[in-house]
Amino acid sequence: MTLKEGKTGMTLKIKQIDDSSLKERLMTMGLTPGTKVKVLRAAPLGDPIAISVRSYNLALRRADAENVTVEQVG
Amino acid sequence: MATIAVALTGNPNTGKSTIFNELTGARQKIGNWPGVTVDKKVGYARHQDRAISIVDLPGTYSINARSPEEKIVIDYLMNNKLDLVMDVVDSSNIERNLFLTVQLLEKGIPLLIDLNMADDAERRGIKIDCRKLEDALGMPVVQTVGRSSKSARKLLDIFTSTVMSNYEPSQLVKDHIIKVQEIEASGKTESEKQEEIIEARYALIDTVIAQAVTMSNVGQTKSEKIDRFLANGVLALPIFLAIMYGVFMITFEWIGQPIADALDSLINEDFLDFATDALTDAGVAEWLVSLVCDGIIGGVGAVLTFVPLIFVLFFCLSFLDGTGYMARIAFIMDPIMRRCGLTGKGIMPLMMGFGCGVPAIMGARALDSEKDRMVSILVTPFLTCGAKLPIMALFAAMFFPDNAANVVFAMYISGVIMAIIAAKGLGSSIFKDKGSTFLLELPPYRMPDMKSVLLETWDKGKGYLVKAGTIIFAASVLLWVLSNYNFDGPCEIDESILAVLGGWMSNLFVFHGFATWESGAALLSGIMAKETVVATIGVLYGAADVSTEAADAVESAGQMMQTGMATSFTALSALAFMVFSQLYTPCVTALGTIKKEAGGWKWMAFSAVYMFVIAWVVSLLVYQIGRLLGF
């Protein structure tokens, strides 16, 4: 699955970041393979989403989250 | 002894600027980095008889030189001889913050690492052993708690006593640098290399964290609990609207307006009377008294009375920004803003646009994609800035006495709707091929540091004061000359140069119902500054002291009803005039800002022309459709 399908409360482990113009920025912000993220909540209408990663909170659009492949671990 | 040169670097939201303000107080100079529109802040301090100069570099997450800010940071650090570079780290978010630290160490820049907000981190159960962190990185580490004079003194002590060349990276860091060099030298593609290097950096950070940081029961934080209300689902929107309503009430009703009223009576009554009497008593020629009192004091005074509103609004917005709430607004408004062709991050600059377009246009700097930035710059001037408000208020009070408030509100809405349509249009035409992204840190809620909020308010609002002293001053003199003279010398106003120019201008509005030289002249003066539209109308229709304040609109309307204005407009043509004023070409100050921020005369000319055309068309439609409907 990808981070795009993440639902509130899910803990996800990042497997891979697909090539996109945002890839380097996402990785710089701490979204590296092996890192665990938690989906905290969604904005009204469900997009963007807020996630907790490396002890801080980050908001991103689902369209950009589609490039992050994850597996659910909790 | 030579001045100690210090540079501050670090991520956004680390309290870096608060430390900078605490260290330097008001001894700062805010300018621009050459060639780009990024603030350059330099401050000075004295400690133990040493002069210290401190540069506050822009807050960045990395130094990949992808954005102007990142480029500035790395260029400045690589090309200047600095005695000390301090990397400000938010202790409660140390993992991601260390990414920049590691990148800087790779560049061979020795760092003083400042673990800021140490108290915050401790409350969250994050304990950092400074000694172990020093050993792990090989660099000196200091702990501070943000805004405190004790922390500032501690830092100044370190600045004056530390010799950075005594430090060198630890073996751990050296090994990492070799690894990075190996990756660089490998034959892989650029993007593969970048990926591997970023992973290597986080691997190093994980090792360092394991050695120096203990995290115990990092449970749900206070910010999390607050966010369940302020940033969660549909409930967040009414709360946002309520908070914004509060901001506008504070600005236009509770605090800003009373101060503006007091200032108005001080300038336009007390000072004006005093100046008139003093000049007349001194035997100054009548024309000069008129120039100084009617022209300059009237014109500049009209703008100055507006300053309190601007400053109060910007204070509120800066305060909200300091708490971290602005990031939540960007988050919850992104779905709506995105559908309008904008981005959630654009909400803060747009809200400033209801005060004054100039800082609003400058605020678009914060947006990270070129498309979002340009669209935001080009649509902001459609909004009802504070200077347009008096026009709306006066016309509404005169021609729609029973519905004045609704009509003014409708004008606000028409500006917003036009901004949305324009954003959609620009986004799908000129900027079609440029992407828009949204990646935003949601920092913990914090009580903002008042000194930083005030400095930021001043920084954003001072442009308005400068405008009063320069453009408005010149425009006032020019308008006075144009309205009192023609090429044969002094004359009555309806034979003046202004009347001639206004007459030409009015030819454009034959089908709009307001083809009088008076409205032509008023609109022409509005390009210099929207504040002067009402003042010009007042002068032209012979009601000299018409207040340019929205709050006095009913009183002014009473005065104006006695003049020819009541008969030169119908309710419908007044509405068409309001719509035109709402949407047409921004004032010269805003145009100048657009040129600077959008990067060229081309965009300035584009914005002047496209807004004029849109205003002309919409206003025409309002008048003609209104006539068809029988109004």
List alpha helices for B107-170, DSSP H. Answer: 118-123, 130-137, 149-161
Looking at residue B303, what is its pLDDT?
74
B222 touches chain A (CB under 8 A): no
Quote the pTM value.
0.89
- pLDDT band per the 50, 70, 90 thresholds, residue B467: confident
- Phi-psi bin for B489: left (phi > 0), alpha (psi -120 to 50), beta? left
Q: Does B299 or B136 have the greater pLDDT score? A: B136
**Preferred mutation among B63, B188, B191, B195 to probe A, highest tally of A CBs within 10 A:** B195
Looking at residue B220, what is its pLDDT?
66
For chain B, which residues make up each domain, given as ranges?
4-215, 242-628
Q: 3-class DSSP state for residue B4?
A: strand
**Which residues from chain B sit within 8 angstroms of residue A47, using beta carbons?**
334-335
Name the residue among B625, B542, B525 with its Cα closest to residue B579. B625
* Tokens 């009913």, located at residue: B554
Q: Is B25 known as a binding-site position?
A: yes
Distances (CA, A) of B194 to B77, B184, B363, B437: 22, 9, 31, 20
Q: Which of B26-30, B230-234, B546-550 has the lowest mean pLDDT?
A: B546-550
How far is B429 from chain A, CA to nearest CA, in Å?
Answer: 21
What ipTM, to 2 d.p.?
0.97
Per-residue pLDDT tens digits for B491-507: 888 889 999 999 999 99
The residues near B251 (Cβ < 8 Å, ≥ 6 apart) are B257, B309, B312, B313, B316, B355
Contact across the interface for B439 and A19, Cβ inside 8 Å? no
Contact across the interface for B438 and A59, Cβ inside 8 Å? yes
**Preferred mutation among B331, B347, B436 to probe A, highest tally of A CBs within 10 A:** B331
Estimate to the nearest angstrom the gap between the alpha carbon of B385 and the chain centroid.
Answer: 13
How far is A23 from chain B, CA to nearest CA, in Å?
Answer: 9
Q: What percent of chain B has pLDDT above 70? A: 99
For chain A, which residues make up each domain, given as ranges?
3-72
Looking at residue B553, what is its pLDDT?
83
Looking at residue B218, what is its pLDDT?
61
The residues near B608 (Cβ < 8 Å, ≥ 6 apart) are B585, B586, B591
Per-residue pLDDT tens digits for B410-427: 999 999 999 999 999 998
Q: How far apart are CA A40 and CA B504, in angstroms?
A: 61
Nearest to A54 among B96, B231, B338 (CB): B96
- Phi-psi bin for B85: left (phi > 0), alpha (psi -120 to 50), beta? beta
Per-residue pLDDT tens digits for B309-320: 889 988 999 999
Contact across the interface for B96 and A56, Cβ inside 8 Å? yes
- pLDDT band per the 50, 70, 90 thresholds, residue B479: confident
Contact across the interface for B236 and A22, Cβ inside 8 Å? no
> A3-72: CATH homologous superfamily?
Ferrous iron transport protein A (FeoA) (2.30.30.90)
- Neighbour count for residue A64 (Cβ, 10 Å): 22
Q: Is B13 known as a binding-site position?
A: yes
Q: Encoding tokens for residue B43?
A: 């401050």
Q: How far apart are CA B154 and CA B292, in angstroms?
A: 54
Nearest to B95 among A55, A59, A64 (CB): A55
Per-residue pLDDT tens digits for B324-342: 999 999 999 999 999 988 8
> B4-215: CATH homologous superfamily?
P-loop containing nucleotide triphosphate hydrolases (3.40.50.300)
Name the residue among B39, B199, B38, B11 with its Cα closest to residue B96. B11
For residues B52 and B33, is the Cβ–Cβ distance under 8 A? Answer: no
Q: How far apart are CA B43 and CA B57, in angstroms?
A: 11
Q: 3-class DSSP state for residue A15?
A: strand
Q: Does B172 or B224 have the greater pLDDT score? A: B172
Q: Encoding tokens for residue B30?
A: 């805010």
B194 touches chain A (CB under 8 A): yes
Per-residue pLDDT tens digits for B20-50: 999 998 788 887 787 776 788 999 999 999 9
Contact across the interface for B199 and A27, Cβ inside 8 Å? yes
How far is B5 from chain A, CA to nearest CA, in Å?
Answer: 29
Q: What percent of chain B has pLDDT above 90? A: 59
For residues B277 and B446, is the Cβ–Cβ distance under 8 A? Answer: no
Q: 3-class DSSP state for residue B222?
A: helix
Q: What is the mean pLDDT of residues A56-62?
A: 95
Q: Which of A48-57, B133-142, B468-477 has the lowest mean pLDDT?
A: B468-477
Per-residue pLDDT tens digits for B175-191: 999 999 999 999 999 98
Per-residue pLDDT tens digits for B86-120: 999 999 999 999 999 999 999 999 999 999 999 88
